Amino acid sequence: MTKRYKIAVAGAGIGGLTVAALLADKGHQVSVFDQFDQPQPVGSGLVIQPVGQAVLDRIGAGDAARSKGNPIQRMLGHEAERNRNVLNVWYDKRTDGRVGLAIHRASLFEAIYTAVRARDVSVSSRSRVVEAQAGRVKLADGTTQGPFDLIIDSAGASSPLSPLKSRPLPYGAIWGTVDWPDTPLPTNQLTQCYRRADRMIGVLPIGSLPGETIQKAAIFWSMPAQAHPDWRKAGLDAWKAQATSLWPAFAPFAAQVQDPDQMTMARYSHGTLRKPWSSGLVHIGDAAHRASPQLGQGANMALLDALALARALDCAEGEAALALYARSRRWHVLTYQAMSAAFTPQYQSDSRWLPVLRDRLLYPVSQIPPGPKALTAIVCGTMLPPLGRLGRV
Ligand SMILES: Cc1cc2nc3c(=O)[nH]c(=O)nc-3n(C[C@H](O)[C@H](O)[C@H](O)COP(=O)(O)OP(=O)(O)OC[C@H]3O[C@@H](n4cnc5c(N)ncnc54)[C@H](O)[C@@H]3O)c2cc1C
């Protein structure tokens, strides 16, 4: 029989809540600690890829997420100055085929948190973890919790427990949530517009917020990480004029932004822990690997890490289980991190030649078989078996 552990989870985000539910199902005693005052997510929308949705299904959160989110069949991007498509990726052209699930973070959080609450898991808010040592978790209020057999670090990109030193990326983006307006843009696709690689505008239909039925869009505008103060200073009218001259279809989305605080600046970084565990401590999600959201894989990766770790603890004990988790995820994580590093500067950088290469060579080649199939596998998260020897998702 599998050993039952007393486990602390630092961070009630996408990965932390999911691993808590999976481990509770295996009979482990799980306590989750998060810094938030009330359980709540931050940010706008994201896309959960098909393999990530399969993990949500394992904890019974998939249907709830799908009922609030919006299916995405395609990602389409065009270059503003030449008005030519330079990105065209289908999940599956069939309406009943594989889709991405675009969803507001609040709705995703609600779906996962509801699944956690249905289980015997303790979730403590106002519990900022500052240290993990010898099986104990130290909180910001000076108290210590434990001992635990295992501490799972799922505290995201700013985890105080992770030794990962990630490299800040030169570009980030402002993100906001607006109502889906009266627009001819399709509701089954992520639509993007680029000018070279130094401007990117995106519109993602994300379904509705918890307790609402109004359809929403996540909108984003890419900019150098240090340019945010200048953007605020220049004023919303200047931004709207620039954005809508590049992409007139963006006008009804931009018109809903009346206050700069509606748009949140997200800064990105890139890095991967070589060994995502040490004695009694294991890192998952952004605490273990960070990348720009260009490939839309971060949440997916956190969900896959959660499933891999829960399975590894089912197959092996102690450090052997942590090593098995790391080995099983290693190649999938490294491959996606490498692809993110290669793709991101084509869409977010000051480079003049990378967008030319993208538009004149990479895009045309990507549309010739087997290019479309390979692109579909990349976005679906199935380029490589995500769980290695731990089996299928
Ligand atoms: C703008 C933007 C767009 C994105 N779009 C996509 C997308 O389309 N698809 C995709 O797959 N990914 C996307 N991502 C990435 C994705 O959001 C992350 O990779 C994912 O949320 C990581 O999950 P996680 O569980 O590791 O961390 P998080 O979901 O960030 O959760 C971390 C949790 O830890 C808590 N916490 C932090 N510090 C402490 C502490 N000291 N003590 C206790 N609790 C703590 C936080 O409150 C939070 O609840 C996007 C990211 C950004 C910024």
Domain of residue 55, CATH code: 3.50.50.60
Q: Is residue 27 part of a domain?
A: yes
The sign one gets for the Cα dihedral 374, 378, 383, 385 is negative
Interval between CA 393 and ligand 1 midpoint (Å): 21
Give CA–CA dist 285/18, Å, rounded.
Answer: 11
Pocket test for ligand 1, best of 14, 18, 33 (most atoms within 8 A of CB): 14
Considering the domain boundaries, does residue 238 fall inside one? no
Tokens read off for 240: 């709207």
- Asked if the structure places residue 112 within a domain, the reply is yes
Contact 167, 51 (CB under 8 A): no
Most ligand 1 atoms within 8 A of CB, residue of 89, 286, 292 to mutate: 286
Q: Give the neighbor-by-neighbor strand order of the sheet with 136-139.
A: 129-133, 136-139, 144-145
User: Which amino acid residue places its CA nearest to atom 30 of ligand 1?
Assistant: 156
What is the edge-to-edge ordering of all strands in the sheet holding 167-168? 167-168, 269-272, 289-290
What is the whole-number distance in angstroms between the Cα of residue 64 and the centre of ligand 1?
Answer: 20
Find out whether 236 and 219 touch, Cβ atoms under 8 Å. no
User: Ligand 1 mean position to 238 CA, how many Å?
Assistant: 31
Per-residue pLDDT of the chain (393 residues; tens, 9 = 90+): 478 999 999 999 999 999 999 999 999 999 999 999 876 666 789 999 999 999 999 999 999 999 999 999 999 999 998 889 999 999 988 877 899 999 999 999 999 999 999 999 999 999 999 999 999 999 999 999 999 999 999 999 999 999 999 999 999 999 999 999 999 999 999 999 999 999 999 999 999 999 999 999 999 999 999 999 999 999 999 999 999 999 999 999 999 999 999 999 999 999 999 999 999 999 999 999 999 999 999 999 999 999 999 999 999 999 999 999 999 999 999 999 999 999 999 999 999 999 999 999 999 989 999 999 999 999 998 889 999 999 999
Longest Cα separation, the chain: 64
312 in a structural domain: yes
**223 within some domain:** no
Q: Say if 260 falls within a structural domain.
A: no
The label of the residue with tokens 């078996």 reads 385
Q: Which residues line ligand 1 (CB under 6 A)?
A: 10-16, 33-36, 46-47, 128-129, 154-156, 158-160, 175, 266, 285-287, 293, 296-300, 302
Counting from 1 in the atom list of ligand 1, the atom nearest the Cα of 161 is 41
Atom 21 of ligand 1: nearest residue by CA position: 299
Q: Look at residue 40 in the predicted model and tell me its pLDDT.
A: 64
Atom of ligand 1 nearest to the CA of 160: 41
| Cα–ligand 1 centroid distance for 298 (angstroms) | 8
Residue of 9, 46, 143, 177 to mutate, ligand 1, most atoms within 8 A of C-beta: 46
pLDDT recorded at residue 3: 83
Domains: count for the chain: 1
The domain in which residue 68 lies consists of: 6-167+269-390
Give start and end residues of each alpha helix (H) in 129-274.
Answer: 228-234, 236-246, 251-254
As a whole number of angstroms, the distance between CA 283 and CA 164 comes to 10
Structural domain includes residue 17: yes
Q: Which ligand 1 atom lies nearest to the CA of residue 129?
A: 42
Q: How far is the CA of 106 from the centre of ligand 1 (A)?
A: 12
Residues 354 and 197: beta-carbon distance below 8 Å: yes
Nearest CA to ligand 1 atom 12: 298
Q: Best of 9, 34, 203, 379 to mutate for ligand 1, by most ligand atoms within 8 A of CB? A: 34
Ligand 1 centroid, distance to 160 Cα (angstroms): 14
Asked if residue 196 is part of any domain, the answer here is no
Please give the distance, rounded to the nearest whole angstrom, from the Cα atom of residue 229 to the centre of ligand 1. 24
Number of the ligand 1 atom closest to the C-alpha atom of 43: 1
CA triple 288-292-297, angle to 5 deg: 70
